[in-house]
Structure 1
Amino acid sequence: MEEFIALAIILVTAFVFAPLGLGGGFLFVPTLYFILGMELQLSIVCSLILVWFVSIGSRRAHDEGGYTVAGVGRKGRIVAIGGAIIGALAADRIIAEAGESIIKILAIVLLILVIYRGIKKLIEDQQNDIYDEEISVGGALLYKYKLGCLAGGLSAGLIGIGGGVIFTMLNRIVLGLGPHKAAGTSYLIVMRVVPVAIVSHLLFNPSLVDEITKFHALALALPLIVLVTAWAGAKAAIRILPQRALTYPYLIAVSISLVRYLMDVIN
């Protein structure tokens, strides 16, 4: 039964939240860890794999709609990749030396930040629907953007998210891009950062490779199913739904994840 519940959560996450520029790692990690009972570092790696395939499918849909700004994505990519390597190494050392609690606390802090920024952005969007779609990134703005991308890469390696939520917030708050372009441009970075984070985890902890190869063949096929699901969800949302309508269920889902992490840390 747990497997079916986890599968449903993963597919719904890929379909509903891909249009927001989010790979879904905030929900993938707790699903794999709490519902399927995986070890935390294995949950992080498997989440990153799912996030990667979500980003491939959703990026394709946003590309087809003209909702990517390649020049912006390239500016933050290198520092984000460096952050992913550092984050993966930090996660491996922290779990080995201090246990899983510190990683969970970091996830809690980031979840609180995401909920706060999400609510604040909803309020701002109700007051202003004008976005700067022609953005020039340079000087102090470029420095701020790269610093944010570094944080996104760190989060990808450290707690198993693709950094999509951070990259999307940067594109919207710092650069002033509209919702769809912010999401599509976020995936340009995620697609390069996540594979590096995955490989880094596997190099720092080779036993994870053995664990993954023991998975059932159907489980190994799940990333491809997630890719198609994310593509379909992004295509549908771009054509039919405003992103604001998807943000509310996302904030609810993230809040549930936050509560579950808090319960685990307190107990």
Structure 2
Amino acid sequence: MHYFTIPPPPELKPYVRFYWVLEHELGEGTPSYIYRSVADACTELVFHYRSSFNELNGKDEQSPSLSGIQFQTTQYRRFITTESFGIFGAYIYPSAVPYFFNIRSNQTSNQAFDFDTFLNRSGVELEEQIMLAADNFKRAEILSSFLIARLHKDGLKDERMAIAVRDVIHGDRYQSVVELADTYNLSVRQFDRKFKEYAGFNPKTYMRLVRLQAALKQYNSNKSLTQIALECGYYDQSHFIHDVKAFTGYHPGFYFSGKAEGTEYRNV
């Protein structure tokens, strides 16, 4: 399995965290591969440029999963393929959704669309260009040009809330919504409403998602689950277990064991 990231150009850094690539060759004895996407505080644009996946529902029934956009989500999903694959993606801040697509983030949470449905003709053309690109660095150039062009359009903009979202993602100094609201000189009620428009979820839920992602980054740290829970800001072990189970579908003991679906790329 091959996984790597590509940084966005400077003008997109406030909006795009990074581009990513995941490629895998299925060999003898491995007729299929199942990937589990977990709850995430960010939005992803996903392009299948080599083969495709089907989504598995609770009864393991399959439905086609096309290239498209998965907005910030509190849910996990499962996908299966029987072919070697290549995926190119963009990992973007949810606060960038209003800038790129002129829609508030809280109107998109827990939703996913194929590019044709969400972006109409421009989405179809973008997908074709990504599919035909010579390599993944060219794909990053194509998508960067597309996103930069969309920034030039008039749209919803609140720089203060966009900064607040990035601050929560990259900082670890805030332990409560009250602290966050005070930092931005707003009442808790005002901050809650404005933050949700650009993060997709209220601050409390969003901080839980960010805390989860911080914990999952400790996958290969050789730290105990108790250490991970404490370092990532969980009040106690029970809160840690509850969130990991709710957002990944697994008990943390199993998720961090190396046996869980969709964790293989973390070993690369």
Normalised-by-shorter TM-score class: under 0.3
The structure with more radius of gyration: 2
Richer in helix (by share): 1
Higher relative contact order (CA 8 A, sep 6+): 1
TM-score by length of 1: 0.28
- TM-score under structure 2 normalisation? 0.28
